[in-house]
């Protein structure tokens, strides 16, 4: 049973290899009647696209999407929304030398072992180009969840050892896109940019962390005991290329704490709403949203393709040396911000719909 679908009700299936004819996505279960704003989809794609700034890959990719079905006179029909992006700037020649090679920390070896075959051009299905399809679907999901007053904001909180020491409440998240690294603190952003440029100059790559905040989430989303809201968010994030960790609320730091420090006391607000004084629970208790802000961190490893020679082997087991050709990102997190938001939006959209079926 293959794993190219995500979500139960608001459900997407992505397809496409990086150097095939097209990539794309089908969204099944998008509520009928939703107005689809094409500009908002393009806006999110532009945030993800290569070549957008000095610190991303300079590769150009087509990112002109086409909606083939499911939208009529600007509105969702309730039938599957199929969207494609053609692959155009396919420098397949860049990859011919890698046909038989297993690049370190790439998926070449595991794909070939699993499937007995692979499209070796540019990573094929394992390429991060697949995430463009997620961003399209996420942009539609965002338009749906906006109707429930939900807003998702991700930003870069660490590049290598350069880390934001403020939490999301101390930041103006409107500033995230004001700089090319997408860190809402301009001073830290500058340091991150410098580190990335320095890293690229060495032909190397560097990891980072993205923090994501979901505001306005209604109480009640999440389906215990397995599809807890944070478990679904965690899976969504871990399914993004290069992600190696996820934590929400007090996260790993919370493992060092006492219950008396970590518990969130309930109180009645002036508006007679129930809230918690602290929010170490990260807006989720028992796997269900409690109305407070949801926030989590996503850990990205350094990009595997580096411009330095590395020893490896080919599919005959012979020692070889590989070295990145072409145009690659020295750090993936600036471009991954819209991907994190997209996956979060897909989870929330799905759970908004799932929750509709909970009560009599």
Structure letter (DSSP) for residue 291: S
How many alpha carbons fall within 13 Å on the CB side of residue 296?
26
Q: Does 326 bind a copy of itself (CB under 8 A)?
A: no
Q: Which of 138, 222, 334, 338 binds a copy of itself (CB under 8 A)?
A: 222
Minimum CB distance to a copy of itself, residue 174 (Å): 25
Q: Does 197 bind a copy of itself (CB under 8 A)?
A: no
Contact 283, 348 (CB under 8 A): no
Minimum CB distance to a copy of itself, residue 199 (Å): 7
Q: Which of 171, 213, 214, 303 binds a copy of itself (CB under 8 A)?
A: 303
Q: Does 179 bind a copy of itself (CB under 8 A)?
A: no
Q: Does 338 bind a copy of itself (CB under 8 A)?
A: no
What is the chain's length? 360
Contact 323, 308 (CB under 8 A): yes
Minimum CB distance to a copy of itself, residue 39 (Å): 19
> In DSSP terms, which residues pair with 83 in a beta bridge?
25, 67
Tracing tokens 């393009």 back to the chain, one arrives at 42
By C-beta, is 39 or 256 nearer to a copy of itself? 256
Strand 101-102 versus strand 310-314 pairing type:
antiparallel
By C-beta, is 45 or 352 nearer to a copy of itself? 352
> In DSSP terms, which residues pair with 313 in a beta bridge?
102, 319
By C-beta, is 8 or 37 nearer to a copy of itself? 8
Minimum CB distance to a copy of itself, residue 344 (Å): 14
Contact 217, 289 (CB under 8 A): yes
Instruction: Give the integer Cα–Cα distance in Å for 185 and 175.
Output: 7
Q: Which of 215, 262, 325, 326 binds a copy of itself (CB under 8 A)?
A: 262
How many C-beta neighbours within 10 Å does residue 96 have? 10
Contact 214, 236 (CB under 8 A): no
By C-beta, is 36 or 45 nearer to a copy of itself? 36
Q: Does 165 bind a copy of itself (CB under 8 A)?
A: no
Q: Looking at residues 43 to 72 of the shown chain, list those that interact with a copy of itself (rule: CB under 8 A).
A: 66-70, 72
> Tokens for 85?
């992006």
By C-beta, is 161 or 187 nearer to a copy of itself? 161
Q: Cα angle at 285 between 131 and 139, to 5 degrees?
A: 25
Structure letter (DSSP) for residue 227: B
Q: Looking at residues 98 to 137 of the shown chain, list those that interact with a copy of itself (rule: CB under 8 A).
A: 102, 104-107, 109-111, 113-119, 124-126, 130
Peptide bond into 169 cis (omega under 30): no
Interface region with a copy of itself, contact rule CB under 8 A, candidates 42-50, 90-98, 179-187, 315-323: 315-323
Nearest-CA neighbor of 222 among 279, 282, 269, 168?
282
Q: Does 174 bind a copy of itself (CB under 8 A)?
A: no
Number of residues that bind a copy of itself (CB under 8 A): 150
SS3 124: helix
Interface region with a copy of itself, contact rule CB under 8 A, candidates 21-29, 47-55, 92-100, 164-172: 21-29
Q: Which of 174, 187, 258, 270 binds a copy of itself (CB under 8 A)?
A: 258
What angle separates helix 229-238 from helix 333-355, to the nearest 10 degrees?
150
By C-beta, is 174 or 269 nearer to a copy of itself? 269
Q: Looking at residues 271 to 290 of the shown chain, list those that interact with a copy of itself (rule: CB under 8 A).
A: 272, 274, 276, 280-282, 284-290
Q: Looking at residues 231 to 250 of the shown chain, list those that interact with a copy of itself (rule: CB under 8 A).
A: 231-232, 234-235, 238-239, 244-250
């Amino acid at each position: 049973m293959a794993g190219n679908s995500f979500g139960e009700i608001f459900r997407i299936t992505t397809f496409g290899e990086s150097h095939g004819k097209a990539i794309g996505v089908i969204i099944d279960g998008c509520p009928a009647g939703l107005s689809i704003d094409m500009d908002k989809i393009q806006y999110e794609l532009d945030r993800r696209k290569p070549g957008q700034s000095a610190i991303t890959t300079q590769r150009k990719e087509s990112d002109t999407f086409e909606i083939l079905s499911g939208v009529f006179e600007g509105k969702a029909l309730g039938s599957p929304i199929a969207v494609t992006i053609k692959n155009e700037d396919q420098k397949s020649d860049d990859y011919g030398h890698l046909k038989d090679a297993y690049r370190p920390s790439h998926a070449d070896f595991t794909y070939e072992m699993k499937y007995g075959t692979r499209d070796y051009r540019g990573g094929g299905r394992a390429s991060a180009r697949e995430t463009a399809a997620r961003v399209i679907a996420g942009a539609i999901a965002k338009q749906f969840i906006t109707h429930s007053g939900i807003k998702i904001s991700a930003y870069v909180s660490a590049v290598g050892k350069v880390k934001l020491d403020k939490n999301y409440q101390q930041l103006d998240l409107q500033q995230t896109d004001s700089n090319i690294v997408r860190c809402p603190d301009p001073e830290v952003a500058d340091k991150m940019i410098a580190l990335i440029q320095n890293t690229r100059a060495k032909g190397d790559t560097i990891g980072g962390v993205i923090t994501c905040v979901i505001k306005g989430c209604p109480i009640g989303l999440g389906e215990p005991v397995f599809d807890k809201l944070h478990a679904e968010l965690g899976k969504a994030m871990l399914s993004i290329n290069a992600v190696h960790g996820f934590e929400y609320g007090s996260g790993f730091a919370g493992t060092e704490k006492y219950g008396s420090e970590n518990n969130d006391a309930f109180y009645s607000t002036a508006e007679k709403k129930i809230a918690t004084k602290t929010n170490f629970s990260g807006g989720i208790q028992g796997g269900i949203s409690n109305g407070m802000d949801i926030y989590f961190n996503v850990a990205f490893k350094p990009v595997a393709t580096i411009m330095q020679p590395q020893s490896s082997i080919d599919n005959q087991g012979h020692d070889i040396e590989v070295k990145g050709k072409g145009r690659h990102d020295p750090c993936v997190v600036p471009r991954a911000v819209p991907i994190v938001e997209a996956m979060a939006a897909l989870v929330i959209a799905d759970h908004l719909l799932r929750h509709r079926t909970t009560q009599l």
